[in-house]
Chain A
Amino acid sequence: MLKVENLVAGYGKVQVLHDVSLHVPQGTLVTLIGSNGAGKTTTLRAVSGMIATQSGRITLNGAEITGLAPHAITRGGLAHSPEGRRVFPTLPVADNLLLGAFTRVTGSRPKGDVARDLERMYALFPRLAERRAQLAGTLSGGEQQMLAMARALMLNPLVLLLDEPSMGLAPRLVEEVFAIIARLKSERVTMLLVEQFAAAALDVADFGYVLENGRVSASGPAARLKDDPAVRAAYLGAAH
């Protein structure tokens, strides 16, 4: 569904990703783990067009999206719940969610039933239902994270990119976020998950990639990566 081949990207003259290839097949949950600065967020940003790619090829559902503007990539069916949540603070929760479906309401993606999907999000994230009229800027960090995920889901995306959904959350909320990711997986939502909680990410994922200094250093079925001694030592906090 999403294919990244030999991606080279960075910020200005600083090259962050040297040669990244990964594949997210339809209906699977793939996770990208690695230490801080390894290039996880940069990979997602390059995929969704937020930063320019220097070389390489990205395809979404068979169509090339390399070098397109973010809005064009979204119109192709890619949703990105970005690092730092990035909700629209001066708009109510309900409007944030509606904007997630902007391309559907305005006709550049199949419309479906936007009202029903809104209710689905409120069922999936009951806290948002309670706060639907509240400005997003007044939500707690955990609630903003739920909103960012729900807003991305409102696209009915072919692929959902999730960047560090657990960042800065209390342990109980981290569990809640992972429970929702597991539920989305059971609904066959295709996802690429970036996480620093590598153990939790590998527990829920089908397949994993390990990113090290802008290169993929290991990949394989999530269960196997979890048992890989090198991965355990570097990312899962196992004793050396």
Chain B
Amino acid sequence: MQILAQLIASGIAVGMIYGVIAFGYQLTFATSKTLNFGQGEALMLGSLVGLTVVSFTGYWIMLPIVLAFGLVQGAVVERLGVRQAIRTKSEAGWIMATIALGIIFKNLAENIWGRDALKFPSPLPEAPLSFMGVNVLPMEVVIVFGALAMMLLVEVFNRRSIYGKAVVATANDRDAAGLMGINTSLVITFSYSLSSMTAAFAGVLVAPVTLTGAAMGGALGLKAFAVAIIGGLSSGMGVVVGGLILGITETLTGYYISTGYKDVPGLVLLLLVLSFKPSGLFGSATIKKV
């Protein structure tokens, strides 16, 4: 029983990271119906830039710098990889373009930071805390609350501020939003910025617990994509639940069956969701009008 609780606790921390990356996928999908398939690389870059900055500033001052870096990186992805595809109404151009940019970012990182996994200094004590016999790293607690806070802040921005409402309006109906005087191209660039910013934030949250390095992004980006599909690309709640499901099944399978199979249950779930509820567990089905 205690082992089970321990495994679930570890799964929650991993799952929240998947959730916050998947949240980033939702942000761009809402406004532009496109995604950054280099989202994992945005996370990796954020983490490595954080690693370089952290030695000068310490962890907490590094955070806003990394967030700012994420904003810029996302804008670059949108301008170079996505804008042209949206303008020409290309159905698939953005897919290859964002994958290509992801590979370029990865090569760039390999040349700057090398190919090896690197240790990221933890801002908090690395001795686990014990809650009723379950050991939890202080950084894992920060991951859970940091991820929730990030999603909550974006939600509050969307609901309360006029600019957030402009983002929602663009997601609802881009043409009509343009008629309100909203620069919808800029809104889409902004959603890419915000998306990369959440990924970069996830990168510096997770790095002290795992390791960092040029190769860290690929698997995380892909699993978070699975989470976005499981939870639904339109549901904020869905990515949290989807992330937790994937994170917990991973740690449970890894312990009770074999670490070699730990990715299987989540991916089977993905296939099941795609077969029976393609809009995701929490997504609302939309009928595409043609």
Contact = CB atoms under 8 A, between A and B. Distances in A.
A191 interface: no
Interface in A60-80: 69-71, 74-75, 79-80
Contact of A102 (B173, B175, B181): B181
A117 to B, nearest CB: 15
A109 B181 CA distance: 10
A interface bracket (residues with beta carbon within 8 Å of B):
20 to 34
13 contacts: A69-B183, A70-B178, A86-B175, A88-B169, A90-B172, A91-B169, A99-B162, A99-B165, A99-B166, A99-B169, A99-B177, A100-B180, A103-B181
Nearest to B163: A106
B179 A48 contact: yes
Contact of B165 (A70, A91, A151, A152): A91
Interface string A73-110: 01100011010001111110001001110110110110
A70 B175 contact: yes
Interface of A: 48-50, 69-71, 74-75, 79-80, 82, 86-91, 95, 98-100, 102-103, 105-106, 108-109, 151-152, 155
B162 A98 contact: yes
Contacts of B65: none
B270 to A, nearest CB: 27
Interface of B: 162-163, 165-166, 168-169, 171-173, 175-185
Contact of A91 (B163, B168, B183, B184): B168
Contacts of B173: 86, 88
Given A88-B168, A98-B165, A102-B162, A108 B179 contact: no
A80 B178 CA distance: 10
B165 A108 contact: no
A79 B179 CA distance: 7
